Structure 1
Amino acid sequence: MRDSVTVRMSATPAEVWGLVSDVTRIGEFSPETFEAEWLGDAQGPEAGAKFRGHVRRNEIGPVYWTTCRVVVCEPEREFAFAVLGPGGKTINRWSYRIAPRDDGSDVTEAFELSGTLPLRMYWTVLGWARGRRNRHDMTTTLERMKAVLEDR
């Protein structure tokens, strides 16, 4: 109920951080989440800040909003957020980890579903398809970010 993809980018950790932590730009990169906005007083990335993402599941639908809370905010190292379900409980955690390299940065996008019984059952039945989709979309997202960063 978890997976990750890593892509090497010819960009500094600071440059990568600027993209992965700016949720308002996710629509440029993600195949499923086509827009996002900070909620309440949040103006940018910080632990505890909330935002909502507008999702088109599998790029076709259904279309819905998800509320998320930033759970890790370490500039130039890691940006992670929890997707919140009923009662504000975490149903999924997404993260971007940045590791400096001599020629740029290794950027890892990862997800981890919570271990609740309904999600374990879902993963048992449809996990093969959703996992494949998530892996494809994480690769697409990171490759699109890479293109922006390397075409500067």
Structure 2
Amino acid sequence: MTESVLTKSPIFAMSADIYISATPREVYSVVSDLPRSGEWSPETMGGEWVSGEPAEVGSVFRGENLRSEDVVAWAPLVRGTWYTEARVIAAEPGRTFRWAMLTHAGENQNSVWGFDMTPSGSGCVLTHHFRMDTPTEGIHKIVSGMDEAEKQRFFDEWGEKLRGDLDVTLQRIKKVIEGR
């Protein structure tokens, strides 16, 4: 018997890097301003802080998202506009900023996005990362009617999409910060 993709951990663990001609603190001030995320995210259009002090550990951000019909088109994904909430779990100016996606009950899920800044020359390397240790509520819903082969296909294609999103996000952040 083959192990289910749903029992593997982590389900996703990926990162991408880019050099930015700005100090780690300058980069941090941009990437920790989640309401601006529509300027660089392929799916998040922006949003607002709904509790806590903006960008501080424990604060909650409500994001507005938009997904087109062609993203993993065969899978039963949420399409159009939808909303998510995330809690900041790490906020160290000039070093790291991370947030965990929340369940409908407001609990942290094992689905964490973040940015790390590492000084390099006259600027810094910005690392964007994503890790999902166990399936989220949304993942369970998406794959609930799939057999194991379809689940594997979904995770392969979703992983490819996420890796592309990390790269696109970094390229867009670089343009925002460097003004090119």
TM-score, normalization by structure 2: 0.76
SS at match of 2:167: helix
- The equivalent of 1:57 in structure 2 is 67
Aligned partners of 1:32 and 1:59 also within 8 Å: no
Correspondence for 1:24: 35
| Identical-residue share of aligned pairs (%) | 33
In structure 1, the residue matched to 2:160 is: 132
- Deviation sequence 1:105-148 (CA, Å, 0-9, x none): 10011111131497589563411111111111111111111012
1:148/1:90 CA distance change after superposition, 3 Å: same
Equivalent position to 1:44, from 43, 50, 54: 54
1:142 to 148, 163, 170: 170
Q: State the superposition RMSD in angstroms.
A: 2.3
Partners of 2:16 and 2:162 in 1: CA distance: 10
| C-alpha deviation, 1:102, in angstroms | 1.0
Q: List aligned pairs for 1:1-152, cutoff 5 A.
A: 1-40=12-51, 42-58=52-68, 61-87=79-105, 88-116=107-135, 119=139, 122=143, 124-151=152-179
TM-score of the pair, normalised by structure 1: 0.89
SS in 1 for 2:28: helix
Equivalent pairs counted in the alignment come to 151
SS in 1 for 2:84: strand
Question: Which consecutive unaligned segments of at least 5 residues does structure 1 have?
Answer: none
